[in-house]
Structure 1
């Protein structure tokens, strides 16, 4: 399936927290979008691999993505090495996205930054014809390089190069995040596991507060921010009048 946009997250829920509003926006505009989870989140304190798959599927349905795949790299122990790059290159060539939304390049969780650099490197190498990968049927895949790799914000704040208005889809975005009930909510029985950094009400409050703060920067209610290693260009000035700052 050729995708317009592929959102990649090292853990299930990274995409929902970082760029789901942008993803929902683009789907509503008729774009084909998918999610690629690098790991199963098996080191997460709360929940299980099975519950993470169920939650990821529920979130995908809420967002309306066309495909969601998990590469089953080792949570916490994957590396930005040849083996993992080739695995990711094969997935990029499979979906041929024009734009990739990726983990932050530097963040509180070491997996996030390592994944951000792995994705960035794999996107470049995927465009080299002499790097050979094969699909599920054993056929050689054609080279493919996305036009842009945009890194979404995670725990740490990074000054964004691009801000996208997500006001119209903010409730849907928060519903997608809420699909991860073992991660972000605690009931009286405590069945989900011990309290963690992301399971307190304060964490979701901070997610909402950041979206409001970024929205205020461009004169809208809510926004998501992205950085890019590549300069972002536009064809004409009309692209600058979509929102009033």
Structure 2
């Protein structure tokens, strides 16, 4: 399945928190989008791998993605090494995305940064002809390098290189997040230990950041992305002009 955009998160719910608005918007624009979760989030304080799977499935349906796959790397203990790079390279070559959205390369949670580096390295290595991989049927895969790897902003704040207006899809993004009833505060949240992300204040801070980013481009809500690669445009017509 050829995808236009592949969103990658180390934990189920990372993608929803970081870039669900952009995903929903691009799907509305006719793009084919998929998600890969690297781990099952099995070390999370609340819930289990099974509940995370059910929640991720529900969130995927809300967003409307074409496919969601879990690579089942070990939560907390995966490495950016040859074994894991090859595992991700196979997935990249399978879906051949033009753009990858993934974890930022340094963040509060060490898994986020390690995943960001893994994604970055796999994106490059996937384009090398002499790295050979096989698909599920044992057939050789073609090399493939995405044009861009854009890192979504999670816990720590970074000045974004790109801002995407998600004002018209903010409600749907929040519904996708709230599909994780074991993780975040909702009217139907399951009981469990209080965590960093399970309080009402966490969702309030998430909305506040999206409002703050939106103000940067004169809209109500926005998501921000970082790129290690310079991004060009065909003309100035591609810019959103605003009064400040």
Structure 1 residue ranges without an equivalent (≥5): none
Paired residue secondary structure (1:102) = strand
Q: 1:22 touches 1:224 (CA, 8 Å); kept in 2? A: yes
Q: TM-score, with normalisation over the residues of structure 1?
A: 0.97
Q: 1:47 touches 1:192 (CA, 8 Å); kept in 2? A: no
Q: Distance in 2 between matches of 1:207 and 1:100?
A: 22
Report Cα offsets for 1:63-109 as digits up to 9, x if no partner. 00000000000000000000000000000000000000010111000
Q: Does 1:15 align with 2:11?
A: no
Q: 2:52 touches 2:180 (CA, 8 Å); kept in 1? A: yes
Q: TM-score, with normalisation over the residues of structure 2?
A: 0.97
Per the alignment, residue 80 of structure 2 pairs with 80
Q: Distance in 2 between matches of 1:107 and 1:22?
A: 21
Per the alignment, residue 244 of structure 1 pairs with 242
Q: Does 1:25 align with 2:29?
A: no
Q: Distance in 1 between matches of 2:106 and 2:242?
A: 30
1:46-125 maps to which residues of 2 (within 5 A)?
46-125=46-125
Report Cα offsets for 1:112-138 as digits up to 9, x if no partner. 000000000000000000000100000
Q: 1:186 touches 1:192 (CA, 8 Å); kept in 2? A: no
Could you say what the CA RMSD is over the residues aligned between the two structures, in angstroms? Answer: 1.3
Structure 2 residue ranges without an equivalent (≥5): none
Q: Distance in 1 between matches of 2:236 and 2:132?
A: 40
Paired residue secondary structure (2:183) = helix
Q: 2:41 touches 2:52 (CA, 8 Å); kept in 1? A: yes
Paired residue secondary structure (1:160) = coil
Count of residues paired in the alignment = 243
Q: Distance in 2 between matches of 1:124 and 1:139?
A: 21
Report Cα offsets for 1:39-61 as digits up to 9, x if no partner. 00000000011110000000000
Paired residue secondary structure (1:169) = helix
Q: Distance in 2 between matches of 1:178 and 1:3?
A: 26
1:217-236 maps to which residues of 2 (within 5 A)?
217-236=216-235
Report Cα offsets for 1:152-210 as digits up to 9, x if no partner. 0000001100000000000000000000010002779x854201000001100010000
